[in-house]
């Protein structure tokens, strides 16, 4: 079979997804293509969806600003994506559109690839900074993997509390202010920065000042532009192992590709190659 895959969103001209998925097709020895299908801003969303249906893609990714808007047009939504209220991957199953969200699992896979031992101890304490879409996905994926000591720090604390509500059982998870989290950094085995603070062009900003860190406590940022954020630079200077955001991009794509093709491709040196493209 030949796979016709695409990305929908706007604007998407600079997306790295075609580079990633066309490599995956190659690696998996499959025929097909992954194209950019930018939504026409002069037409309505419905008209864009009609055109998309006619294309009969076998699968597509959904990016900003349509991750929520696509949901009413799907025939089925996977429980995690439903909980998150956002879909980034759609599989065309015999004409029916089924929606998934691969961000959370992708993030956890990327962390596990870099620090396999970090995910062995389900008792470890995790701090999630931020409470947007990415944080929701990562929280659900970590809870699914059995972690139950996850604290969430956010400027708007009600959004952090809403994330805890995604699971009936809150485990030992609590909500913190950013200031409280800053003071408590050395209590955490893994600290994950998911806000947009520090993203280019505001690369000098950091949501939190990192000074005291736990011995072997890992610091991770999902921002990949710049690759080494101010948050990661401070963590590194404090002696912490760090984890870069571009790998999440690769692993969420790996999981999406698996949903479309049933094949799990290995990434080999793609993280290094992507790093060079981003630098």
By the criterion CB under 6 A, which residues form the site for ligand ATR? 130-134, 154-156, 159, 194-197, 207
Q: How far is CA 12 from the centre of its chain?
A: 17
Q: What is the DSSP string of 218-252?
A: EEEE---SSSS-HHHHHHHHTT--EE-THHHHHHH
Nearer to ligand ATR by C-beta: 32 or 130? Answer: 130
CB of 40 to ligand ATR, least distance (A): 24
CB of 77 to ligand ATR, least distance (A): 18
**How far apart are alpha carbons 64 and 58 in whole angstroms?**
20
Strand partners, 34: 5
Q: Is 259 marked active-site?
A: no
**How far apart are alpha carbons 110 and 222 in whole angstroms?**
10
CB of 183 to ligand ATR, least distance (A): 17
Which residue's Cβ has the minimum distance to ligand ATR? Answer: 132
| Ligand-binding site membership of 134 (annotated) | yes
> Given strand 190-193, what is the order of strands in its sheet?
175-176, 150-153, 126-129, 190-193, 218-221, 242-243
| Ligand-binding site membership of 131 (annotated) | yes
- Report the number of secondary-structure helices (H) and strands (E) in the chain: 10, 12
Q: Which of 67, 183, 186, 263 is labelled catalytic?
A: 67
| Ligand-binding site membership of 41 (annotated) | no
Which residues sit in the known binding site?
15-17, 63, 88, 103, 130-134, 222, 224, 245, 252
Active-site residue numbers?
A: 67
Which residues sit in the known binding site for shikimate?
15-17, 63, 88, 103, 224, 252
Which residues sit in the known binding site for NADP(+)?
130-134, 222, 245
């Amino acid at each position: 079979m030949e796979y016709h895959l695409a990305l929908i969103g706007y604007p998407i001209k600079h997306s790295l997804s075609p580079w990633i998925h066309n490599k995956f097709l190659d690696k998996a020895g499959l025929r097909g293509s992954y194209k950019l299908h930018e939504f026409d801003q002069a037409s309505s969303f419905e008209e864009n969806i009609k055109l998309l249906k006619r294309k009969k893609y076998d699968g597509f990714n959904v990016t900003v600003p349509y991750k929520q808007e696509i949901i009413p047009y799907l025939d089925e939504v996977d429980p995690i994506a439903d909980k998150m209220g956002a879909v980034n991957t759609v599989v065309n199953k015999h004409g029916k559109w089924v929606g998934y969200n691969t961000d959370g699992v992708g993030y956890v896979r990327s962390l596990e690839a870099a620090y396999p031992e970090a995910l062995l101890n389900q008792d470890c304490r995790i701090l999630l900074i931020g409470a947007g879409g990415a944080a929701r996905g990562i929280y659900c994926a970590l809870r699914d993997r059995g972690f139950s000591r996850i604290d969430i720090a956010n400027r708007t604390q009600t959004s952090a509390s809403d994330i805890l509500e995604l699971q009936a059982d809150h485990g030992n998870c609590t909500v913190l202010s950013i200031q409280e989290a800053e003071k408590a950094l050395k209590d955490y085995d893994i600290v994950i920065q998911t806000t947009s603070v520090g993203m280019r062009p505001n690369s000098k900003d950091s949501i939190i000042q990192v000074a005291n860190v736990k011995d072997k406590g890992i610091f991770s940022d999902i921002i990949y532009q710049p690759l080494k954020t101010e948050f990661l630079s401070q963590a590194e200077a404090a002696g912490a192992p760090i984890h870069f955001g571009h790998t999440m991009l690769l692993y969420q794509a790996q999981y999406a590709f698996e949903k479309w093709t049933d094949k799990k491709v290995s990434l080999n040196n793609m993280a290094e190659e992507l790093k060079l493209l981003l630098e």
